[in-house]
Structure 1
Amino acid sequence: MPGDGFEQFVRVRYTELLHTAYLLTGSPPAAEDLVQTCLLKIMPRFERIAEPMPYLRRAMVNQRTSWWRALRRELLSPEPPDDARPDPTGAFAERSALVAELARLPERMRAVLVLRYWEDLSEAETAEALGCSVGTVKSQASRGLARLRVLLESGDAQRSER
């Protein structure tokens, strides 16, 4: 049975894990499922895991990839996981557009961008979490950011034409 350490970890880190999972899945219910699935998997051996956050990030990426392969389709929603409040600055619309376009990227590219820029991991930490080289992280991040720029610019052009 997990000890107080696991319960404390979940209390402190659950929201952070949920945000990362949302960016990986694009769906609030899928994000909750992803976090809970991964937490259940590590619960019995939590006390033996030296660094639980990197371990969980990698577990979430791997689990998401497994689900994607099994389903062969994505369940995505442009809504963020937290409550939408009126946003006079337009940041909500920008965030929704970014998340929607992020969801259109290939799994590996999305994972690199989420871990590198949302989680603010270094290139080496991202490479370790994904089990790839630093060069792969650099190239995937560069290509992913370039593709996001194109997608966001074309989305802006489409929205302005309406």
Structure 2
Amino acid sequence: MSAESSAVNFSELVNKNKQTLARLKESSRLLLRRRDGEDLVLTTVTRAEQDRTVVSAATRMLAAMARRDPGTTELLLDVLPDAFPWVRFLPEPDVHAFAVELVDTMRAADSLSSNASVAQMLIAWQHTAEAYSDPELLIALTTDHAEDYGPVPDPKSVQ
């Protein structure tokens, strides 16, 4: 959570709801810590819409710039290592593929008002970079193993 947020236990919201909700006037988000589940973030509709508007505007601007001028793609390729230091481990063609996929996925996700696919795509590319960063892992993943151990049995049938 950012400096603009504060954290409370979920039970405080349940037991002292007025006082807890009043804290939203002081910070943009309230982190609700839970013992038996994932923590939650509470914010106002206005703030959530503002966040969505900003992300959508940035996405549309980036996509429009990438489509208009080939120089923008070069600029994007130049700044990617600053934004995502792990791209330094990717081969050159993969860095370009990542840039294209990033812009395309951001545009598609924006049209659905959901950033889950962007987050998943970033995680997948980061894992790819991790594989390239470890020579032993890269060899293990890219070496063609001639041995065939036959069909894999259905896990349900193996006891």
Q: Same fold (TM over 0.5)?
A: no
Q: Return the index of the structure with the highest Cα Rg.
A: 2
The one of the two structures with greater contact order (alpha-carbon pairs below 8 A, sep at least 6) is 1
- Give the structure-1-normalised TM-score: 0.34
**Per residue, is there more helix in 1 or in 2?**
1
**Per residue, is there more strand in 1 or in 2?**
2
